[in-house]
Structure 1
Protein backbone atom coordinates (compact mmCIF):
# COMPACT_ATOMS: atom_id res chain seq x y z
CA UNK A 1 0.00 0.00 0.00
CA UNK A 2 2.84 2.34 0.83
CA UNK A 3 4.37 1.86 -2.62
CA UNK A 4 1.04 2.72 -4.21
CA UNK A 5 0.92 6.00 -2.28
CA UNK A 6 4.46 6.78 -3.40
CA UNK A 7 3.56 6.01 -7.00
CA UNK A 8 0.46 8.23 -6.80
CA UNK A 9 2.40 11.03 -5.13
CA UNK A 10 5.13 10.84 -7.77
CA UNK A 11 2.55 10.95 -10.56
CA UNK A 12 0.85 14.00 -9.03
CA UNK A 13 4.16 15.81 -8.59
CA UNK A 14 5.11 15.04 -12.20
CA UNK A 15 1.74 16.31 -13.43
CA UNK A 16 2.07 19.47 -11.35
CA UNK A 17 5.57 20.15 -12.70
CA UNK A 18 4.45 19.54 -16.28
CA UNK A 19 1.46 21.85 -15.86
CA UNK A 20 3.62 24.57 -14.35
CA UNK A 21 6.23 24.26 -17.10
CA UNK A 22 3.89 24.00 -20.08
CA UNK A 23 0.92 26.11 -18.96
CA UNK A 24 1.56 28.39 -15.99
CA UNK A 25 5.04 29.70 -16.86
CA UNK A 26 4.22 30.46 -20.53
CA UNK A 27 1.04 32.22 -19.44
CA UNK A 28 2.94 34.41 -16.99
CA UNK A 29 5.55 35.19 -19.63
CA UNK A 30 3.03 36.16 -22.32
CA UNK A 31 0.25 37.84 -20.36
CA UNK A 32 1.77 41.29 -20.92
CA UNK A 33 2.16 40.89 -24.69
CA UNK A 34 0.54 43.67 -26.73
CA UNK A 35 -0.53 43.52 -30.40
CA UNK A 36 2.26 44.10 -32.87
CA UNK A 37 2.32 47.60 -34.40
CA UNK A 38 0.46 47.33 -37.67
CA UNK A 39 -1.72 44.40 -36.59
CA UNK A 40 -5.43 45.10 -37.09
CA UNK A 41 -8.33 43.47 -35.23
CA UNK A 42 -10.47 41.10 -37.26
CA UNK A 43 -13.68 42.46 -38.72
CA UNK A 44 -16.98 40.72 -38.02
CA UNK A 45 -16.86 39.16 -41.49
CA UNK A 46 -13.31 37.94 -40.97
CA UNK A 47 -14.25 36.40 -37.62
CA UNK A 48 -17.04 34.51 -39.35
CA UNK A 49 -14.57 33.34 -42.00
CA UNK A 50 -12.15 32.30 -39.27
CA UNK A 51 -14.84 30.10 -37.77
CA UNK A 52 -15.43 28.55 -41.21
CA UNK A 53 -11.67 27.95 -41.45
CA UNK A 54 -11.83 26.05 -38.15
CA UNK A 55 -14.96 24.08 -39.04
CA UNK A 56 -13.55 23.08 -42.42
CA UNK A 57 -10.39 21.71 -40.77
CA UNK A 58 -8.03 23.96 -42.73
CA UNK A 59 -5.70 24.00 -39.71
CA UNK A 60 -4.97 20.30 -40.22
CA UNK A 61 -3.17 20.98 -43.52
CA UNK A 62 -2.01 24.59 -43.20
CA UNK A 63 0.18 26.25 -40.61
CA UNK A 64 0.33 29.93 -39.69
CA UNK A 65 3.86 30.10 -38.33
CA UNK A 66 6.75 30.65 -40.77
CA UNK A 67 10.01 29.51 -39.26
CA UNK A 68 13.10 31.61 -38.69
CA UNK A 69 15.43 32.18 -41.65
CA UNK A 70 18.24 30.54 -39.69
CA UNK A 71 16.15 27.43 -39.21
CA UNK A 72 14.26 26.80 -42.46
CA UNK A 73 13.81 28.25 -45.99
CA UNK A 74 10.30 29.54 -45.28
CA UNK A 75 11.28 33.14 -46.03
CA UNK A 76 12.74 32.11 -49.41
CA UNK A 77 9.43 30.38 -50.15
CA UNK A 78 7.73 33.75 -49.84
CA UNK A 79 5.98 32.97 -46.56
CA UNK A 80 7.41 35.98 -44.72
CA UNK A 81 9.35 36.58 -41.55
CA UNK A 82 9.10 34.47 -38.42
CA UNK A 83 6.16 35.59 -36.27
CA UNK A 84 6.32 37.16 -32.84
CA UNK A 85 3.87 36.71 -29.98
CA UNK A 86 2.11 40.01 -30.68
CA UNK A 87 1.14 38.82 -34.18
CA UNK A 88 -1.38 36.44 -32.58
CA UNK A 89 -2.89 38.93 -30.13
CA UNK A 90 -6.40 38.69 -31.62
CA UNK A 91 -6.30 34.94 -32.26
CA UNK A 92 -8.55 32.90 -29.97
CA UNK A 93 -7.94 30.05 -30.34
CA UNK A 94 -4.54 30.16 -32.00
CA UNK A 95 -4.36 28.38 -35.35
CA UNK A 96 -0.62 27.69 -35.55
CA UNK A 97 -1.08 24.26 -37.12
CA UNK A 98 1.07 21.19 -36.67
CA UNK A 99 1.81 20.13 -40.26
CA UNK A 100 2.02 21.48 -43.79
CA UNK A 101 0.24 19.41 -46.36
CA UNK A 102 -0.26 22.79 -48.00
CA UNK A 103 1.70 26.05 -47.76
CA UNK A 104 1.84 28.25 -44.69
CA UNK A 105 -0.97 30.85 -44.67
CA UNK A 106 0.47 33.41 -42.25
CA UNK A 107 0.78 35.90 -45.15
CA UNK A 108 -1.58 34.46 -47.76
CA UNK A 109 -3.34 37.83 -47.92
CA UNK A 110 -0.12 39.44 -49.14
CA UNK A 111 0.70 36.64 -51.59
CA UNK A 112 -2.79 36.24 -53.02
CA UNK A 113 -4.88 39.36 -52.33
CA UNK A 114 -7.35 38.60 -55.15
CA UNK A 115 -10.88 37.67 -54.07
CA UNK A 116 -11.52 36.03 -57.45
CA UNK A 117 -8.38 33.88 -57.22
CA UNK A 118 -9.14 32.70 -53.71
CA UNK A 119 -12.76 31.88 -54.50
CA UNK A 120 -11.79 29.99 -57.64
CA UNK A 121 -9.06 28.16 -55.76
CA UNK A 122 -11.58 27.02 -53.15
CA UNK A 123 -13.97 25.82 -55.84
CA UNK A 124 -11.30 23.90 -57.79
CA UNK A 125 -7.67 24.21 -56.63
CA UNK A 126 -6.22 22.42 -59.66
CA UNK A 127 -7.62 25.11 -61.95
CA UNK A 128 -5.08 27.49 -60.43
CA UNK A 129 -2.34 25.22 -59.07
CA UNK A 130 -1.78 22.20 -61.32
CA UNK A 131 -1.04 19.06 -59.32
CA UNK A 132 -2.41 20.50 -56.07
CA UNK A 133 -3.53 17.88 -53.55
CA UNK A 134 -5.93 20.28 -51.86
CA UNK A 135 -9.55 19.04 -51.93
CA UNK A 136 -12.11 21.06 -53.82
CA UNK A 137 -14.99 22.64 -51.89
CA UNK A 138 -17.81 22.92 -54.46
CA UNK A 139 -20.43 22.64 -51.71
CA UNK A 140 -19.44 26.16 -50.65
CA UNK A 141 -20.82 27.44 -53.94
CA UNK A 142 -24.09 27.36 -55.88
CA UNK A 143 -24.70 26.60 -59.53
CA UNK A 144 -27.26 28.91 -61.04
CA UNK A 145 -28.64 29.43 -64.51
CA UNK A 146 -28.40 33.17 -63.93
CA UNK A 147 -26.83 35.25 -61.20
CA UNK A 148 -29.15 37.24 -58.97
CA UNK A 149 -28.47 40.86 -57.99
CA UNK A 150 -25.77 40.95 -55.31
CA UNK A 151 -24.38 37.50 -56.18
CA UNK A 152 -20.62 37.09 -56.36
CA UNK A 153 -19.94 35.07 -59.51
CA UNK A 154 -16.70 33.08 -59.56
CA UNK A 155 -14.73 33.64 -62.77
CA UNK A 156 -13.25 30.23 -63.56
CA UNK A 157 -10.87 29.26 -66.38
CA UNK A 158 -12.94 28.16 -69.40
CA UNK A 159 -11.95 24.48 -69.06
CA UNK A 160 -13.37 24.41 -65.50
CA UNK A 161 -16.50 26.48 -66.08
CA UNK A 162 -19.82 24.66 -65.54
CA UNK A 163 -21.70 23.41 -68.60
CA UNK A 164 -24.89 24.81 -70.15
CA UNK A 165 -23.94 28.39 -69.46
CA UNK A 166 -24.46 28.10 -65.70
CA UNK A 167 -22.60 30.33 -63.29
CA UNK A 168 -20.85 29.51 -60.02
CA UNK A 169 -21.95 31.76 -57.16
CA UNK A 170 -20.09 32.01 -53.84
CA UNK A 171 -22.07 31.36 -50.66
CA UNK A 172 -21.77 33.70 -47.64
CA UNK A 173 -19.46 31.15 -45.96
CA UNK A 174 -17.11 31.13 -48.95
CA UNK A 175 -17.03 34.93 -49.04
CA UNK A 176 -16.34 35.12 -45.31
CA UNK A 177 -13.56 32.53 -45.51
CA UNK A 178 -11.86 34.40 -48.35
CA UNK A 179 -12.19 37.67 -46.44
CA UNK A 180 -10.42 36.02 -43.50
CA UNK A 181 -7.66 34.62 -45.72
CA UNK A 182 -7.04 37.96 -47.40
CA UNK A 183 -6.80 39.52 -43.95
CA UNK A 184 -3.85 37.27 -43.11
CA UNK A 185 -1.17 39.81 -43.92
CA UNK A 186 1.65 40.19 -41.40
CA UNK A 187 4.15 41.95 -43.64
CA UNK A 188 4.45 44.94 -41.31
CA UNK A 189 7.91 45.24 -39.67
CA UNK A 190 8.51 44.26 -36.07
CA UNK A 191 11.37 45.08 -33.73
CA UNK A 192 13.86 42.20 -33.28
CA UNK A 193 13.23 42.24 -29.51
CA UNK A 194 9.50 41.74 -30.06
CA UNK A 195 9.94 37.98 -29.96
CA UNK A 196 9.73 38.14 -26.15
CA UNK A 197 7.48 40.10 -23.81
CA UNK A 198 9.11 42.94 -21.90
CA UNK A 199 9.07 41.13 -18.57
CA UNK A 200 10.98 38.19 -20.02
CA UNK A 201 13.54 40.43 -21.72
CA UNK A 202 14.10 42.25 -18.44
CA UNK A 203 14.91 38.93 -16.82
CA UNK A 204 17.21 37.77 -19.59
CA UNK A 205 19.20 40.95 -20.22
CA UNK A 206 20.91 41.10 -16.78
CA UNK A 207 21.85 37.45 -17.11
CA UNK A 208 23.31 38.09 -20.55
CA UNK A 209 25.27 41.07 -19.26
CA UNK A 210 26.62 39.03 -16.36
CA UNK A 211 27.74 36.28 -18.72
CA UNK A 212 29.47 38.84 -20.95
CA UNK A 213 31.41 40.24 -17.99
CA UNK A 214 32.68 36.86 -16.81
Structure 2
Protein backbone atom coordinates (compact mmCIF):
# COMPACT_ATOMS: atom_id res chain seq x y z
CA UNK A 1 0.00 0.00 0.00
CA UNK A 2 2.85 2.36 0.83
CA UNK A 3 4.49 1.87 -2.59
CA UNK A 4 1.21 2.83 -4.28
CA UNK A 5 1.24 6.17 -2.47
CA UNK A 6 4.86 6.75 -3.52
CA UNK A 7 3.97 5.95 -7.14
CA UNK A 8 0.95 8.26 -7.05
CA UNK A 9 2.96 11.05 -5.40
CA UNK A 10 5.75 10.69 -7.96
CA UNK A 11 3.25 10.84 -10.83
CA UNK A 12 1.61 13.95 -9.41
CA UNK A 13 4.97 15.71 -8.92
CA UNK A 14 6.00 14.80 -12.48
CA UNK A 15 2.70 16.12 -13.85
CA UNK A 16 3.01 19.35 -11.85
CA UNK A 17 6.58 19.94 -13.08
CA UNK A 18 5.62 19.22 -16.69
CA UNK A 19 2.63 21.59 -16.48
CA UNK A 20 4.76 24.32 -14.93
CA UNK A 21 7.47 23.91 -17.55
CA UNK A 22 5.28 23.60 -20.63
CA UNK A 23 2.29 25.80 -19.74
CA UNK A 24 2.78 28.16 -16.81
CA UNK A 25 6.31 29.47 -17.49
CA UNK A 26 5.71 30.18 -21.23
CA UNK A 27 2.40 31.86 -20.38
CA UNK A 28 4.13 34.13 -17.87
CA UNK A 29 6.92 34.93 -20.35
CA UNK A 30 4.52 35.81 -23.15
CA UNK A 31 1.65 37.38 -21.22
CA UNK A 32 2.73 40.95 -21.95
CA UNK A 33 3.71 40.52 -25.61
CA UNK A 34 2.60 43.42 -27.80
CA UNK A 35 2.28 43.51 -31.58
CA UNK A 36 5.34 44.85 -33.40
CA UNK A 37 5.11 48.27 -35.01
CA UNK A 38 3.88 47.70 -38.53
CA UNK A 39 1.61 44.75 -37.72
CA UNK A 40 -1.98 45.73 -38.41
CA UNK A 41 -5.17 44.01 -37.28
CA UNK A 42 -6.99 41.96 -39.91
CA UNK A 43 -9.69 43.66 -41.97
CA UNK A 44 -13.18 42.16 -42.20
CA UNK A 45 -12.35 40.72 -45.65
CA UNK A 46 -9.12 39.19 -44.32
CA UNK A 47 -10.95 37.62 -41.38
CA UNK A 48 -13.48 36.09 -43.78
CA UNK A 49 -10.58 34.90 -45.96
CA UNK A 50 -8.92 33.40 -42.91
CA UNK A 51 -12.06 31.35 -42.30
CA UNK A 52 -11.95 30.14 -45.93
CA UNK A 53 -8.26 29.23 -45.37
CA UNK A 54 -9.22 27.17 -42.31
CA UNK A 55 -12.31 25.60 -43.91
CA UNK A 56 -10.37 24.41 -46.96
CA UNK A 57 -7.58 22.87 -44.89
CA UNK A 58 -4.77 25.10 -46.17
CA UNK A 59 -3.15 24.88 -42.74
CA UNK A 60 -2.59 21.14 -43.23
CA UNK A 61 -0.05 21.70 -46.02
CA UNK A 62 1.27 25.21 -45.37
CA UNK A 63 3.02 26.50 -42.28
CA UNK A 64 3.25 30.11 -41.15
CA UNK A 65 6.46 29.90 -39.16
CA UNK A 66 9.75 30.09 -41.07
CA UNK A 67 12.67 28.82 -39.03
CA UNK A 68 15.70 30.87 -38.10
CA UNK A 69 18.66 31.05 -40.47
CA UNK A 70 20.75 28.90 -38.13
CA UNK A 71 18.22 26.03 -38.26
CA UNK A 72 17.02 25.82 -41.85
CA UNK A 73 17.32 27.40 -45.31
CA UNK A 74 13.88 29.05 -45.03
CA UNK A 75 15.33 32.57 -45.35
CA UNK A 76 17.29 31.61 -48.49
CA UNK A 77 14.06 30.22 -49.96
CA UNK A 78 12.58 33.71 -49.63
CA UNK A 79 10.15 32.80 -46.88
CA UNK A 80 11.27 35.65 -44.62
CA UNK A 81 12.73 36.06 -41.20
CA UNK A 82 11.95 33.83 -38.26
CA UNK A 83 8.80 35.02 -36.48
CA UNK A 84 8.56 36.51 -33.01
CA UNK A 85 5.66 36.03 -30.60
CA UNK A 86 4.16 39.43 -31.44
CA UNK A 87 3.74 38.46 -35.10
CA UNK A 88 0.80 36.28 -34.06
CA UNK A 89 -0.84 38.88 -31.80
CA UNK A 90 -4.05 39.07 -33.86
CA UNK A 91 -4.21 35.36 -34.76
CA UNK A 92 -6.97 33.46 -32.99
CA UNK A 93 -6.55 30.55 -33.47
CA UNK A 94 -2.89 30.50 -34.43
CA UNK A 95 -2.35 28.85 -37.81
CA UNK A 96 1.28 27.83 -37.45
CA UNK A 97 0.79 24.55 -39.31
CA UNK A 98 2.45 21.24 -38.62
CA UNK A 99 3.60 20.20 -42.08
CA UNK A 100 5.14 21.73 -45.17
CA UNK A 101 3.84 19.97 -48.20
CA UNK A 102 3.71 23.43 -49.77
CA UNK A 103 5.80 26.52 -49.08
CA UNK A 104 5.58 28.53 -45.87
CA UNK A 105 3.03 31.36 -46.18
CA UNK A 106 4.25 33.66 -43.38
CA UNK A 107 5.31 36.25 -46.00
CA UNK A 108 3.33 35.24 -49.09
CA UNK A 109 1.91 38.77 -49.30
CA UNK A 110 5.43 40.16 -49.76
CA UNK A 111 6.58 37.39 -52.12
CA UNK A 112 3.48 37.27 -54.28
CA UNK A 113 1.34 40.42 -53.86
CA UNK A 114 -0.55 39.99 -57.15
CA UNK A 115 -4.28 39.42 -56.76
CA UNK A 116 -4.47 38.00 -60.30
CA UNK A 117 -1.63 35.52 -59.71
CA UNK A 118 -3.12 34.31 -56.42
CA UNK A 119 -6.60 33.88 -57.90
CA UNK A 120 -5.24 31.99 -60.90
CA UNK A 121 -3.09 29.83 -58.64
CA UNK A 122 -6.11 28.92 -56.52
CA UNK A 123 -8.11 28.03 -59.62
CA UNK A 124 -5.36 25.85 -61.15
CA UNK A 125 -2.01 25.68 -59.30
CA UNK A 126 -0.21 23.74 -62.04
CA UNK A 127 -0.81 26.58 -64.49
CA UNK A 128 1.56 28.69 -62.38
CA UNK A 129 3.80 26.15 -60.65
CA UNK A 130 4.40 23.08 -62.85
CA UNK A 131 4.46 19.90 -60.79
CA UNK A 132 2.62 21.49 -57.85
CA UNK A 133 0.86 19.03 -55.55
CA UNK A 134 -1.62 21.65 -54.37
CA UNK A 135 -5.22 20.76 -55.18
CA UNK A 136 -7.19 23.11 -57.39
CA UNK A 137 -10.11 24.98 -55.83
CA UNK A 138 -12.47 25.48 -58.79
CA UNK A 139 -15.50 25.50 -56.47
CA UNK A 140 -14.36 28.96 -55.31
CA UNK A 141 -15.01 30.24 -58.84
CA UNK A 142 -17.90 30.42 -61.27
CA UNK A 143 -17.83 29.74 -64.99
CA UNK A 144 -19.94 32.21 -66.95
CA UNK A 145 -20.60 32.87 -70.60
CA UNK A 146 -20.05 36.57 -69.99
CA UNK A 147 -18.85 38.51 -66.95
CA UNK A 148 -21.33 40.79 -65.24
CA UNK A 149 -20.37 44.32 -64.18
CA UNK A 150 -18.38 44.15 -60.95
CA UNK A 151 -17.22 40.56 -61.53
CA UNK A 152 -13.55 39.81 -60.99
CA UNK A 153 -12.49 37.84 -64.05
CA UNK A 154 -9.62 35.42 -63.53
CA UNK A 155 -7.25 35.13 -66.47
CA UNK A 156 -5.38 31.84 -66.59
CA UNK A 157 -2.96 30.62 -69.26
CA UNK A 158 -4.89 29.69 -72.44
CA UNK A 159 -4.26 25.95 -72.08
CA UNK A 160 -6.09 26.01 -68.70
CA UNK A 161 -8.91 28.39 -69.68
CA UNK A 162 -12.38 26.93 -70.27
CA UNK A 163 -13.48 27.15 -73.88
CA UNK A 164 -15.98 29.93 -74.55
CA UNK A 165 -16.43 30.86 -70.89
CA UNK A 166 -14.87 33.22 -68.37
CA UNK A 167 -13.77 32.36 -64.85
CA UNK A 168 -15.21 34.65 -62.20
CA UNK A 169 -13.91 34.72 -58.62
CA UNK A 170 -16.46 34.23 -55.84
CA UNK A 171 -16.42 36.47 -52.78
CA UNK A 172 -14.83 33.59 -50.84
CA UNK A 173 -11.93 33.43 -53.32
CA UNK A 174 -11.47 37.21 -53.16
CA UNK A 175 -11.48 37.15 -49.35
CA UNK A 176 -8.99 34.27 -49.27
CA UNK A 177 -6.63 36.17 -51.56
CA UNK A 178 -7.07 39.28 -49.41
CA UNK A 179 -6.00 37.23 -46.39
CA UNK A 180 -3.01 35.74 -48.22
CA UNK A 181 -1.82 39.12 -49.46
CA UNK A 182 -2.17 40.43 -45.90
CA UNK A 183 0.43 37.88 -44.75
CA UNK A 184 3.33 40.31 -45.06
CA UNK A 185 5.67 40.33 -42.06
CA UNK A 186 8.47 42.41 -43.57
CA UNK A 187 8.24 45.17 -40.97
CA UNK A 188 11.28 45.58 -38.71
CA UNK A 189 11.34 43.95 -35.28
CA UNK A 190 13.31 44.93 -32.23
CA UNK A 191 16.33 42.81 -31.25
CA UNK A 192 15.46 40.22 -28.61
CA UNK A 193 11.75 40.64 -29.35
CA UNK A 194 11.03 37.00 -28.56
CA UNK A 195 11.53 37.21 -24.79
CA UNK A 196 12.74 39.89 -22.45
2:18 counterpart SS class:
helix
SS of match in other structure, 2:130: coil
Give the TM-score taking structure 2 as reference length. 0.95
Q: Which has the larger radius of gyration?
A: 1
Deviation at 1:156, TM superposition (A): 0.7
Residue matched to 2:172: 173
- 3-state SS, counterpart of residue 83 of structure 2: coil
Where does residue 39 of structure 1 map in the other structure?
39
Deviation at 1:184, TM superposition (A): 0.3
How far did residue 4 of structure 1 move? Answer: 4.1
1:56 pairs with 2:56? yes
What residue in structure 2 maps to residue 182 of structure 1? Answer: 181
Q: Which ranges of structure 2 fall in alignment gaps of 5 or more residues?
A: none
Alignment of 1:33-182 (within 5 A): 33-163=33-163, 165-182=164-181
Q: Cα distance, 1:51 vs. partner?
A: 1.1
Deviates more, 1:48-57 or 1:179-188: 48-57
Q: Report the equivalent of 1:212.
A: none
Cα deviations across residues 135-166 of structure 1 (Å, max 9, x unaligned)?
11111111111112221111111100012x11
What SS does the aligned partner of 1:193 have?
coil
How much does 1:76 deviate?
0.8
SS at match of 1:147: coil
Counterpart in 1 of 2:30? Answer: 30
Unaligned runs of 5+ in 1: 202-214
* Structure (1/2) with the larger helix percentage: 1
Partners of 1:116 and 1:43 in 2: CA distance: 20
Give me the CA root mean square deviation. Answer: 1.3
Instruction: State the number of aligned residues.
Output: 196
Distance, in Å, in 1 between the alignment partners of 2:49 and 2:3 is 54
**How many angstroms does 1:8 deviate by?**
3.6
CA deviation vs aligned residue, 1:57-95 (integer Å, no higher than 9, x gap): 111111111111111111111111111111111111111
Q: Secondary structure at the match of 2:192?
A: helix
